[in-house]
Amino acid sequence: MKSNKLKNLTYLIIFAGGLFALKFLLIDRIFTGLGKDSEIWFTSGLLLIILGVFVTEKYFTKPLDVIVNVITLFVVLLTLNDVSKFHLYWPLITYSLLTAVIALVSFVLVDEEKDRNVLSQKIAYSLNVISGFLGSSRLLFSIVFILSIFNYFVSSLESSSLINNEQIAVILLIIFWGVVILIEPIDRKLITPLLEKMKAKNKSRLIGKIVKRLNPDVIYVEQLPGSPVLKSGDIVVIDDVRHLHTDADLIYAMFIYELEADNKKYLHFHCINARAIDIAKQVYVFSTDSGIPKEIESSEVYKNRDNIIGFVYTNSDIDVIKVKMIEGVDERKDLKEGDLIAVSFYKTSTKYQIINVETDSESVDGHSKIGSKIITAQQIGNWQSDKQKFTDTGWVPSINSPVFIETSTEEIKISNNNCYKVGTVPRSQYPIFIDLEESVSHHIAVIGKTGTGKSRMAACILEKMASSCFKVVILEVDRKHKQSLTTYIDSSLIEEQDSNTFDLSKATKNVISINWQTDDKDKSTGTLNLSDITANLIEKVVAYQTKNEAEKICIAMEEAYDFIPESTFGDQGFGQKKVSRISQVVLKCRKHNIGFLIITQRTALVTKTILYQCHTIIALQSFDETSKNFMSAYINQKYLDSMSILPRYRAIVVGKGSSCDKPVIVDFFDSKLANGKKGVPVKINNGSK
């Protein structure tokens, strides 16, 4: 309010001074014989317009202002010596009287205590608006000014055809009048913005005072009313009120987000070149990014500012970190379980996978609390391009370190042909694959409920093995079923052998599917048992490999409970000796380049002696507690909780054969997997030539 009064006073002095200069230094010297009546342009023209615009009628014109304006005009008009030279004299008198009557009626009728919807008040306020327009200083005295120009000055210019001093003087008078009338929009659109830019050119504007600091690097600032509006990623500088620090000593911080508590606004900043911060200092913002030092512009947090999702929070450890999420970033970035995030420390970018999120609250000003979300993320490791795998970083990032959502879209080609690409980490191009030799020598287990894609997954792995010169022996009871394991394998790669005449040395193809003979099936107890014949088949495979040591062999058991059932699965007394024998053989097989691929939907039905020898696990969606208990030996509780809600074509991969030292959620969907038909080969891009 004080600044507006000062501005009005300044304009009044400038325009009044300009008007007097025009009159005494220009008009009176050029027009010397016009007579006293011509002074009306000054007395009832521009002077009264200036007084009305900047003093009496700054915001609106009241009925009493109109009456005063009309009386003033009457006094001036009555002093004219020769009204005949003032054209439109009587129309002007009539106009003024009519305006005065409207203003007087409005003044009499207006009653502040009555409802404005009453007819008399509607008429009164309508007349108020009309009289305020017709009798305002701008309009009424502008009419007087224009008539005086035409009556006294234009007639004296008609004799001259060339531009002369008199014409220039009249033009200047008209320009001066136009500027006075339009000064308000000119001030609002042009003068004020220019003055603000000139003031802000070399001066930082105060944002607010630090009210809370979370060392290192995080500060909260209480925003002052009228301070600059910031957007995420803007850079500010921390300094004392008197700006006593040199540029080299200044601390630069980046605006993250805004939050509110108890009708106050607080701003969250991340310090980029952090030093010890005095809580009594103030925060100022640079007017443009051109003032940002190169070291700040080149920092990772500034260059990647659009992808920050939060900051490392308390209770983080080497394996799992907590991330305090930026308010609203989950909706903007569409964050989901399994997404890949990154934190830079130890001169490398360590990747983490989101496995959970929880709500929390904190106090900013020491009184009120503000809600927040805390992300839990499992370390995957840092990606080593030369080895094409994730390796454990082995440490925890500092608290308040910025956390970024992974945004790389460049496809990573697998250079190792002796591996199978299980899939990619969600929302990234980082591949997760299993080394075939490592996986086979330490055995693989694929577990998941019906319909999750485990048979398709296993078929792709076996195809890859066959193309890499592995011998694959498939043990499957329901081979002719439309969703059997062999259905998803290229039929040109498969040959069948009867279980009673099985001889691996006679195989002409790399995939051998066992055709179970009726006599091999003992159903006398009501439970199908193939343990005896399975033990004999495995012993034949071992015997073959002993004579052919260079051969690499994988034995796949589809629905493994048909061959190696748990002792609690039905009446298995007659088969348990053979299951125990198979378990002993499995222990020794890794020395013979023989591996097992165990496929099951229920781990409760498969002997744990063999399952726990599988050191590479691909776990799809599972509900039963036995599967979770089995997986608890490999993954933490958060991943166990995820097993029940894993969507189709998503799996948890863990183990010795994996390209990641840690458990990791993987998307393995391929459209050809979903559309694989019986007898049609299913191919996945796995880097094979």
CATH of the domain at 277: 2.40.10
188 and 261 co-located in one domain: no
Containing structural domain, residue 260:
202-301
Q: 360: closest CA among 372, 376, 377?
A: 372
543 and 654 co-located in one domain: yes
Tell me what pLDDT residue 242 has.
65
Q: Are strands 205-214 and 251-261 parallel, antiparallel or unpaired?
A: unpaired
Torsion over CA: 224, 227, 233, 236 (sign): negative
Of 257, 275, 301, at which residue does a domain stop?
Answer: 301
Q: Are strands 553-558 and 471-475 parallel, antiparallel or unpaired?
A: parallel
223 and 96 co-located in one domain: no
Q: 314-323: per-residue pLDDT in tens?
A: 999 999 999 9
* Type of residue found at 96: S
Quick check: helix, strand or coil at residue 555? strand
| Mean pLDDT to the nearest integer, 666-670 | 77
Q: How far apart are CA 281 and CA 536, in angstroms?
A: 82
Asked if residue 68 belongs to a domain, the reply is yes
Above 90 in pLDDT, residue 78? no
Asked if residue 471 belongs to a domain, the reply is yes
Q: 467: closest CA among 476, 459, 479?
A: 459
* Type of residue found at 49: I
Helices 63-78, 89-109: axis angle to 10 degrees equals 150
Tell me what pLDDT residue 239 has.
77
Asked if residue 536 belongs to a domain, the reply is yes
189 and 218 co-located in one domain: no
| Helices and strands counted in the chain (H then E) | 23, 24
103 and 188 co-located in one domain: yes
Of 240, 271, 301, at which residue does a domain stop?
Answer: 301
- Highest mean pLDDT of the ranges 56-65, 113-122, 400-409: 400-409
532 burial via Cβ count (<10 Å: 0-12, 13-18, 19+): middle
Quick check: helix, strand or coil at residue 202? coil
655 and 539 co-located in one domain: yes
Tell me what pLDDT residue 654 has.
92
131 and 246 co-located in one domain: no
- CATH code for the domain in which residue 477 is found: 3.40.50.300
Neighbours of 673 (CB within 10 A): 18
Asked if residue 138 belongs to a domain, the reply is yes
SS (H, E, C) 421-441: EEEECCCCCCEEEEEHHHHHH
Spell out a b/e string for 408-420, using b for 16 or more CB atoms within 10 Å of the CB, else e. eeeeeebeeebbb
Asked if residue 689 belongs to a domain, the reply is no
pLDDT grade for 339, boundaries at 50, 70 and 90: very high
Q: How far apart are CA 78 and CA 90, in angstroms?
A: 11
Above 80 in pLDDT, residue 427? yes
44 and 111 co-located in one domain: yes
Residues in the chain: 689
Contact 177, 49 (CB under 8 A): yes
Quick check: helix, strand or coil at residue 325? strand
Asked if residue 413 belongs to a domain, the reply is no
Q: What is the mean pLDDT of the chain?
A: 82
87 and 190 co-located in one domain: yes
Asked if residue 295 belongs to a domain, the reply is yes
553 and 455 co-located in one domain: yes
Residue 195 DSSP code: H
| Mean pLDDT to the nearest integer, 381-396 | 90
State the distance between the two ends of the chain, measured CA to CA, in whole angstroms: 79
Q: 681: closest CA among 487, 508, 512?
A: 487
Structural domain count, the chain: 4
* Type of residue found at 111: D
337 and 472 co-located in one domain: no
pLDDT grade for 544, boundaries at 50, 70 and 90: very high
Q: How far apart are CA 110 and CA 428, in angstroms?
A: 72
pTM above 0.85, yes or no: no
Q: 589: closest CA among 556, 544, 542, 535?
A: 542
Of 264, 280, 301, at which residue does a domain stop?
Answer: 301
Q: How far apart are CA 270 and CA 402, in angstroms?
A: 9
63 and 165 co-located in one domain: yes
| Mean pLDDT to the nearest integer, 470-480 | 88
Q: 538: closest CA among 476, 581, 598, 495?
A: 581
Q: Give the tokens for residue 245.
A: 């620090």
Of residues 87 and 380, the one with the higher pLDDT is 380
Q: In what order do the strands lie in the sheet with 616-619?
A: 431-435, 419-424, 664-667, 650-655, 616-619, 444-447, 594-600, 553-558, 471-475, 511-515, 494-498
Asked if residue 143 belongs to a domain, the reply is yes
Q: 256-310: per-residue pLDDT in tens?
A: 988 887 778 889 999 888 665 555 555 666 544 457 888 888 888 999 999 999 9
